[in-house]
Amino acid sequence: MQRHEVLVIGAGLAGQRAALAAAQAGRNVGLVSKLHPLRSHSGAAQGGINAAVGAEDSVETHIYDTVKGSDYLGDQDAIEFFCTEAGSTVVEMEHFGTIFSRAPDGSLARRPFGGAGFPRTIYAADRTGLALLQAIYEHLGTEEIQTYEEWDLVELVFRDGRAQGVVVYNRRTGEFEGIGARAVVLATGPAGRVYSRTTNSHSSTGDGIALAYRAGAQLKDMEFVQFHPTALLESGILITEGARGEGGILKNASGERFMVRYAPHVQDLASRDVVSRAIVTEINEGRGFPGGYVHLELMHLGKEKIESRLQEICDFARNFAGVDPVTEPIPVLPAQHYMMGGIGTTMRGETNLAGLYAAGEAACVSIHGANRLGGNSLLETLVFGKQAGIAAAAYSATVTDGTVLPEEIEHAAAPVRAMMARTEGAEPLPLRAEMQAVMERRAGIYRNDADLRAGIQELFALRAKRATLRIVDRSTVFNLNVTDALETRNLLDLAEVILAGALARTESRGAHARTDFPTRDDAHWMKHTIAGYNPLGPQLSYAPVAYTRWDPKERVY
């Protein structure tokens, strides 16, 4: 059995930053991912990373914007720490080799982003995630770290009151194996694929969140799902907020710049939840284009600016929507984009389970509260990835080696082997599609009691099919059916948590918009939803929001 002092699962920005921190603390580090690290979904982040480094800007304003953007559900102490770390985090990434876009004077270029008081978003054209991912991967290459690429996470192993390691599935050999660890860091990203229309990659299936949940970790604020206003109509591929930051505007079918009505001060650069709801309202009230979408116009920016600052966007629009943004508007519609919720952690990445840490989109600290601001997620991966790595490294010095017993491997493998033995039953991908349809219909941008209750019933009905999950492929080499089955199981668990939290929260806050409870209710609901696992369904409880200096105010953009 392989053993590490710190084992990081997930090799996107948060995972790699955690691994780097643990290695720098002198620990023996393992890094497991179902993808090659450079193929992680962090690389798809486009717009940028926030840091208040401009002379006119301040950390204080960044904190305020983030608190306000969170609709007062973010923990203010965590937000203060987060924004204070921003400047040094960006500098460090620059020193690691990130090729940021530059201003004429040689400083880091910045662009305006939604919900921000100043141009605060540092960027690398419109591929900031890729630029950061390349740089951290390059820098991590200078440390001794063992990587396990294209291994699926099957189970987290706890014994004697602490994490002992993980059971993983090696796609190359078809073997289930144990990796022992003193501390485990989950940085496995979001579960965007609970929805069918999502900007997230196919790999964003919430594996770490779901397995932590089943192992007893508390999930926090899972009902808060961000829908990005501008995704390509058919494919759901992301068109960065940077497109509006550079001056792009949204128009309805009558050519009206409708955001003027919804956010008179900042129009198209209002917070994402506001813009997404505006688009859906325009469509619902008959002002969308036939088929239900709006236009994102960039033409007035001119060919040179579009092709230099929004190079990837140009390619995406041309290749995936068949439109040229230089001469035509881009048809867009909101799509699931980000999960504010996740495994509940402290600012140090600690979960409620000894030896288990989490960071990045898989975790919920919480700094995004009910709505994340653009440019804050890349920053989160690096700030809290580092914290989780440091904390896991420190913890690992206080415990003995973790071990995974043969019976624990067998326990994790048995359900998968049972699926392989079945000759009848539900296949994972069609079952996943059924679940996605439920989530699109019942837990989208606008929610209500009847839909959410129906959704819970519909998901409950899928449990019977889930019990018959079947793996058709018998191969031991790159048997993707095994991955499909593991992922589908994880998604189904998390879909239930999202619906349960959304049904219980009888208010509208940030990205959670209830048509039957259209206002924010601070007296009853300024608190975090905590979901614990129970075989019958999620058990909800609530935890207070940490707040320091900013009293809740109405959120106007």
Partner 1 sequence: MVESVAVPISVYRYDPGRDAAPRYVDYTLDMPRHTPVLTALLRIRSEVDSTLSLRYSCRSSICGSCAMVINSKSRLACQTQVGPELDLHGRIVVDPMRNQPVLRDLVVDQGPFWQDYERIVPHLVPDPAHPMPVGKPNPMTPEEVDRFYETPRCIACGACYSACPAKEADPTFPGPMALAKLYRFVVDPRDGARRERLLRIQPGGLWTCLRCHLCTSSCPKDVRPSERIRDLKELAIQEQGATEAGSRHAVAFKENLHDRGLLNEMRLVRQTDGVVGMLRQAPQGLRLARKKPELLKKPRRIEGQEQVQKLYELLEDEEGGA
Residues 432-471 that bind partner 1 (CB under 8 A): 433
CB of 286 closer than 8 Å to CB of 310: no
Count of positions on this chain that bind partner 1 (CB under 8 A):
65
Please, what sign has the CA dihedral across residues 307, 313, 315, 321?
negative
- Distance from first CA to last CA of the chain, Å, rounded? 55
337 counts as binding partner 1 under rule CB under 8 A:
no
Segment contacting partner 1 by CB under 8 A, of 95-103, 265-273, 277-285, 442-450? 95-103
Calpha distance 233→294 (Å, rounded) = 9
Structure tokens at 235: 């494919």
- Residue 25, helix vs strand vs coil: coil
Calpha distance 541→490 (Å, rounded) = 21
Calpha distance 542→342 (Å, rounded) = 14
CB of 173 to partner 1, least distance (A): 10
CB of 349 closer than 8 Å to CB of 358: yes
Residues 6+ apart with CB under 8 A from 285: none
CB of 490 to partner 1, least distance (A): 16
55 counts as binding partner 1 under rule CB under 8 A:
no
CB of 309 to partner 1, least distance (A): 11
* Candidate residues 16, 33, 40, 387; the one interacting with partner 1 per rule CB under 8 A: 40
Smaller CB distance to partner 1: residue 216 or 425? 425
Residues 284-313 that bind partner 1 (CB under 8 A): 311-312
Calpha distance 306→32 (Å, rounded) = 38
Calpha distance 481→472 (Å, rounded) = 7
How far, CA to CA in Å, does 388 sit from each of 137, 143, 359, 394, 433? Answer: 18, 18, 6, 10, 34
Residues 231-290 that bind partner 1 (CB under 8 A): 235, 237-238
Among residues 39, 62, 182, 228, the one annotated as catalytic is: 228
Smaller CB distance to partner 1: residue 194 or 237? 237
Structure tokens at 267: 């129009």
142 counts as binding partner 1 under rule CB under 8 A:
yes
Residues 354-413 that bind partner 1 (CB under 8 A): none
Calpha distance 241→225 (Å, rounded) = 17
How far, CA to CA in Å, does 510 sit from each of 152, 351, 369, 520, 547? Answer: 34, 25, 8, 9, 17
Structure tokens at 466: 């889930």
107 counts as binding partner 1 under rule CB under 8 A:
yes
Residues 481-520 that bind partner 1 (CB under 8 A): 481, 484
106 counts as binding partner 1 under rule CB under 8 A:
yes
CB of 273 to partner 1, least distance (A): 23
DSSP letter for 200, please: S
CB of 138 to partner 1, least distance (A): 4
Segment contacting partner 1 by CB under 8 A, of 92-100, 154-162, 180-188, 250-258? 92-100
CB of 357 to partner 1, least distance (A): 25
124 counts as binding partner 1 under rule CB under 8 A:
yes
Closest CA to 443 of 434, 453, 433: 453
CB of 212 to partner 1, least distance (A): 22
CB of 247 closer than 8 Å to CB of 525: no
Calpha distance 98→94 (Å, rounded) = 5
**Is 228 annotated as catalytic?**
yes
Q: Is it true that the peptide bond before 366 is cis, omega within 30 degrees of 0?
A: yes
43 counts as binding partner 1 under rule CB under 8 A:
yes
Among residues 27, 62, 120, 244, the one annotated as catalytic is: 244
CB of 320 to partner 1, least distance (A): 7
95 counts as binding partner 1 under rule CB under 8 A:
yes
Phi, psi angles (nearest 5°) of residue 271: -60, 155
Smaller CB distance to partner 1: residue 107 or 515? 107
Q: Could you give the string, one character per residue 196-225, with x where binding to partner 1 holds by CB under 8 A and - elsewhere? A: -----xxx----------------------
Catalytic residues: 228, 244
Contact residues toward partner 1 (CB under 8 A) are: 35-36, 38-41, 43-44, 88, 90-91, 94-97, 99-109, 124-125, 127, 130-131, 134, 138-139, 141-142, 172, 201-203, 235, 237-238, 311-312, 315-316, 319-320, 322, 427-430, 433, 472-473, 475-481, 484
